[in-house]
Amino acid sequence: MERIPILKMGHFLLVTIQVDMHDRLALTLQDDLTNQILKTGAHGVLIDISSLEVVDSFIGRMLGNMANMSRLLDAETVVVGMKPAVAITLVELGVSLKGVRTALNVEKGMELLQEPLRSKAGARGDEQQEG
């Protein structure tokens, strides 16, 4: 069966959507992601949609669902790489993706995910110098 790969990178899971997803594929991804969060104990999920030329209300809802489900499983989600034309269209469509954190690219998204981990480490008194 066709699947979108979920990669583990340290404390995080990385999902890069590179195909024009049909609805069943999106639902499979939703299931796979929650399973992987449980299996790996990941603290964050980064979803890269920079290859997506279209995000309609269904895919938008699915991104929101994944963010909410992850949060309930103690993992933050950041959606990165949305194309400007997609953002313009989503707003006109009426999909606001409330509750979904976004960042411009993978690098900035990773920074967002690492922040809470760093402050947790700081609270425990770990010495971590940032360059």
Partner 1 sequence: MPILTSEDVVRVRQKVRSWAIEMGFNLIDQTKLVTAASELARNTINYGGGGEFRLEALNEGNRSGLRLTFEDHGPGIEDVELALKDGYTTAGGLGLGLGGSKRLVNEFDIFSRPGEGTRITVTRWRP
Q: Which residues bind partner 1 (CB under 8 A)?
A: 20-25, 53-58, 60-61, 83-86, 88-89, 92-95
Could you identify the residue written with the tokens 């993706």? Answer: 97
- Shorter beta-carbon distance to partner 1: residue 53 or 126: 53
- Shorter beta-carbon distance to partner 1: residue 28 or 40: 28
CB of 14 to partner 1, least distance (A): 24
Report the largest interatomic distance among the alpha carbons of the chain, rounded to a whole angstrom.
Answer: 47
- Shorter beta-carbon distance to partner 1: residue 69 or 117: 69
Query: Using CA atoms, how far apart are residues 41 and 117, in angstroms rounded to an integer?
Result: 14
CB of 70 to partner 1, least distance (A): 20
Query: Using CA atoms, how far apart are residues 27 and 98, in angstroms rounded to an integer?
Result: 20
CB of 92 to partner 1, least distance (A): 5
Tell me how far CA of residue 68 lies from CA of 13, 40, 88, in angstroms.
Answer: 15, 18, 23
